[in-house]
């Protein structure tokens, strides 16, 4: 009887596996490396849009690509990724990483998102296996999303914290600040600190140098090249899909923020910075973040999203700092996969 029961168990797991495989095979996935080749898609999201190709183009640092899942001839989802060189000199697979941010754009609510994403992530692994040493999927905003697809493709995860402010509350942004933050913002105002919108393309390189000098040691991967910011200005800011805000004191730039807009729904804080050491008593970073959130509230956005901010740790400084602006934290995951079997084997053992 035990052998018979074991046989039935094996048969059951085999049938389940076959069903999942067939369901994922229902969707064909194609890869596109050029914007002009893309089929006509539905309404896209900020990180998985046609414009993403413009953002990452004209730079040897990036190789942008988009995966589109089809149900028959109909596009049902799109996922944008970029392969990034982490070294200026070496060009091999070992010195390249594949980054993906946010959940894919889904165009058909009748299709199972679990199965569609499984098809997309499986195809992504196959597509970049020989082109990048590591795949990193971040800013999902949900600890559960894509779990099946990631696990079956041998990704390992690290728990992170996502911080997002709702701008729909009856309490205004100012009322959500802690007492300490209110006092710091008021002090900066009294001393003449102001926020302005950047609209001088001829000074873009100066702003880029300032951001790089302020953030170079804080960025977890190679700091983006100038073309990254230039493309963002040309293809996003000039089209109303983003802004660069600058904090000034006596004419000098002491802080700023780069924001991306997803229609009138969300503002994504892509970068923020402040010269907090030199102008410590002016609180440039705090004033910059508050002013950016106030702008988002005034213009009718629903959310201000800092995305993944730190590891899941109560004592982590950055998350605690941002939560003092009234936002809510959510547990999420970053998923990783080494495209070198031995490395990935040990990573799975260590982190899972």
Domains of the chain, start order: 23-161+333-351 (3.40.630.30), 169-301 (3.40.630.30)
Q: Is the dihedral of CA 84, 331, 140, 234 positive or negative?
A: negative
User: d(Cα 138, Cα 220) in Å, to the nearest integer?
Assistant: 13
Q: Which of 164, 214, 205 is nearest to 325 (CA)?
A: 164
335 has which bridge partners? Answer: 137, 157
User: d(Cα 316, Cα 57) in Å, to the nearest integer?
Assistant: 35
User: d(Cα 136, Cα 81) in Å, to the nearest integer?
Assistant: 10
Radius of gyration from C-alpha coordinates of the chain:
22
Structure-block tokens of residue 261: 């807009």
Q: Which residues of the chain have pLDDT under 50?
A: 1-6, 8, 11-15, 17-22, 24, 219-220
User: d(Cα 272, Cα 256) in Å, to the nearest integer?
Assistant: 6
Per-residue pLDDT tens digits for 246-275? 999 998 889 899 999 998 899 999 988 888
User: d(Cα 141, Cα 136) in Å, to the nearest integer?
Assistant: 15
Place of tokens 């006509």: 40
User: d(Cα 67, Cα 121) in Å, to the nearest integer?
Assistant: 9
At residue 323, the pLDDT reads 87
Please enumerate in sequence order all residues whose Cβ is within 8 A of that of 204, keeping only pairs 6 or more positions apart, or say none.
229, 230, 233
Backbone angles phi, psi at 244, to 5 degrees: -115, 120
Q: What is the DSSP letter of 315?
A: T
Structure-block tokens of residue 194: 């102001």
CB 173 within 8 A of CB 167: yes
Place of tokens 């495209």: 339
At residue 49, the pLDDT reads 93
CB 197 within 8 A of CB 245: yes
Per-residue pLDDT tens digits for 94-108? 999 999 999 999 999
Structure-block tokens of residue 83: 């392969």
User: d(Cα 79, Cα 116) in Å, to the nearest integer?
Assistant: 11
At residue 259, the pLDDT reads 95
CB 65 within 8 A of CB 81: yes
User: d(Cα 35, Cα 51) in Å, to the nearest integer?
Assistant: 8
For the chain, report the end-to-end CA distance as a whole number of angstroms: 35
């Amino acid at each position: 009887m035990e052998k018979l029961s074991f046989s039935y168990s094996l048969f059951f797991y085999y049938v389940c596996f076959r069903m999942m495989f067939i369901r994922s095979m229902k969707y064909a996935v194609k890869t596109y490396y050029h914007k002009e080749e893309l089929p006509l898609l539905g309404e896209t999201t900020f990180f998985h849009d046609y414009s993403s190709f413009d953002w990452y183009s004209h730079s040897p640092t990036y190789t942008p690509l988009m995966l589109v899942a089809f149900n028959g001839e109909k596009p049902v989802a799109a996922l944008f990724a970029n392969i990034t060189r982490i070294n200026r000199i070496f060009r091999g697979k070992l010195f390249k990483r594949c980054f993906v941010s946010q959940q894919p754009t889904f165009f058909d609510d009748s299709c199972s998102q679990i199965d569609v994403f499984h098809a997309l992530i499986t195809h992504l692994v196959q597509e970049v296996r020989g082109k990048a040493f590591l795949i990193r999927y971040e800013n999902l905003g949900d600890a559960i999303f894509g779990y099946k697809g990631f696990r079956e493709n041998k990704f390992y995860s690290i728990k992170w914290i996502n911080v997002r402010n709702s701008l729909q509350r009856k309490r205004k942004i100012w009322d959500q600040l802690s007492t300490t933050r209110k006092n710091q913002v008021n002090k900066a105002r009294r001393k003449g600190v102001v926020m302005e919108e950047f609209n001088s393309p001829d000074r873009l390189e100066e702003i880029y140098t300032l951001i790089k000098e302020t953030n170079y040691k804080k960025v977890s991967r190679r700091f983006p090249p100038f073309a990254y910011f230039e493309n963002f200005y040309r293809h996003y800011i000039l089209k109303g899909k983003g802004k660069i805000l600058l904090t000034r004191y006596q004419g000098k730039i002491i802080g700023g923020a780069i924001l991306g807009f997803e229609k009138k729904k969300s503002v994504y804080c892509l970068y923020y910075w402040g010269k907090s050491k030199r102008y410590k008593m002016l609180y440039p970073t705090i004033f910059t973040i508050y002013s950016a959130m106030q702008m988002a509230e005034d213009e009718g956005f629903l959310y201000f999203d800092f995305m993944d901010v730190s590891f899941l740790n109560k004592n982590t400084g950055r998350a605690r700092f941002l939560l003092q602006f009234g936002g809510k934290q959510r547990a999420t995951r970053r998923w990783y996969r080494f495209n070198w079997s031995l490395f990935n084997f040990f990573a799975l053992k260590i982190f899972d």
